[in-house]
A = this chain, B = another copy of it.
Amino acid sequence: MKRIRSARRLQSAVRSARSKGESVGFVPTMGFLHEGHLSLVRRARRDNDVVVASIFVNPLQFGPGEDFESYPRDLARDRRLLRSEGVDFVYEPAAADLYPREFATRVVVDGLDQALCGTRRPGHFAGVTTIVTKLLNAAGPDRLYLGQKDFQQAVILTRMVEDLDFAVKVVVCPTVREADGLAMSSRNSYLTTEERAFAPELFRALSKVRKLVQAGEIKTAASAVKRVESLLKDGPGRIDYIEILSREDLGRVRKLSGKLVLAVAYYLGKARLIDNVWIQAPKGS
């Protein structure tokens, strides 16, 4: 596995692979890797001749008061994990190189950020779309691997890739969970033992309501949201949002039908946890 710090070098490495007709898969990460990241890497490894992963905690996608400074980092361990998964190139750019003083460009996807994390973290997704544009230009992949856990991010990046004619296919992989159902996240490391014990309730609540919606027992968005609320209300943390939306365009729905996503964000100690489940609602009566 080769470590690469500059976009130019990564471009020439990928270009030379491509000139041999090889396909390239790319997994962007903020490091502090867990099984969720590694599932993306393994999928990329299966699908492509060359696998590029990036490790970069992107300051642009953190708002004031968020956890940019304290975001967990363990580069040595990350490299070991990526090497053991057969990654060919790990891209580790420096913030000063990616964002020099004169940096002035933003990539923005309008509309899809008017729900879920988009309304709670202003500027977050513009930070994500801007860094991913840079990373795609540096890695020049055929396939981009994203996790379902960050579902809004996946929807927005898919829109961006289509809109900007990137020659890349977006592959969204299922959320990887701990044995008790908690969605894997680098931010789980913030949790105390007590908080960690409560954390699986998020997925349990989502799963319960998914079942009720799919059984036709819950028919409106309002009652679905209310039911998740009541399941979480005695927890030690604080609900940021619970929303049930159309899965394709993240639009609001009133009566539940078709392809939906039920998503939650929850403040638990120092962490803000997010999770979501996909729901196929029965045809309305």
Q: A residues bordering B, Cβ < 8 Å?
A: 7-8, 11, 15, 18-19, 21, 98, 102-112, 129-130, 133-134, 137-138, 140, 159-160, 163-167, 249
What are 8 A-to-B residue pairs whose CB atoms are below 8 Å? A102-B159, A104-B111, A105-B159, A105-B160, A105-B163, A134-B163, A134-B164, A137-B167
Which residues of chain B are near A98, meaning CB under 8 Å?
165
* Candidates B7, B108, B249; contact of A105 at CB < 8 Å: B108
A8 vs B15: C-alpha distance when bound (angstroms): 19
Question: How many whole Å from A189's CB to the nearest CB in chain B?
Answer: 30
Is A164 a contact partner of B105 (Cβ separation < 8 A)? Answer: yes
* Candidates B11, B18, B249; contact of A18 at CB < 8 Å: B18
Which residues of chain B are near A129, meaning CB under 8 Å?
105
Question: How many whole Å from A227's CB to the nearest CB in chain B?
Answer: 31
Is A137 a contact partner of B109 (Cβ separation < 8 A)? Answer: no
Is B104 a contact partner of A105 (Cβ separation < 8 A)? Answer: no
Which residues of chain B are near A103, meaning CB under 8 Å?
163
Is A107 a contact partner of B21 (Cβ separation < 8 A)? Answer: no
Task: Knowing A19-B19, A19-B21, say if A107 contacts B110 (CB, 8 Å).
Answer: no
Is B108 a contact partner of A137 (Cβ separation < 8 A)? Answer: no
A160 to chain B: closest residue by CB: B105
* Candidates B21, B109, B137; contact of A104 at CB < 8 Å: B109
Is B163 a contact partner of A137 (Cβ separation < 8 A)? Answer: no
Q: 7 tightest CB-CB pairs across the interface, nearest first?
A: A105-B163, A7-B165, A137-B165, A11-B167, A134-B165, A104-B110, A106-B108
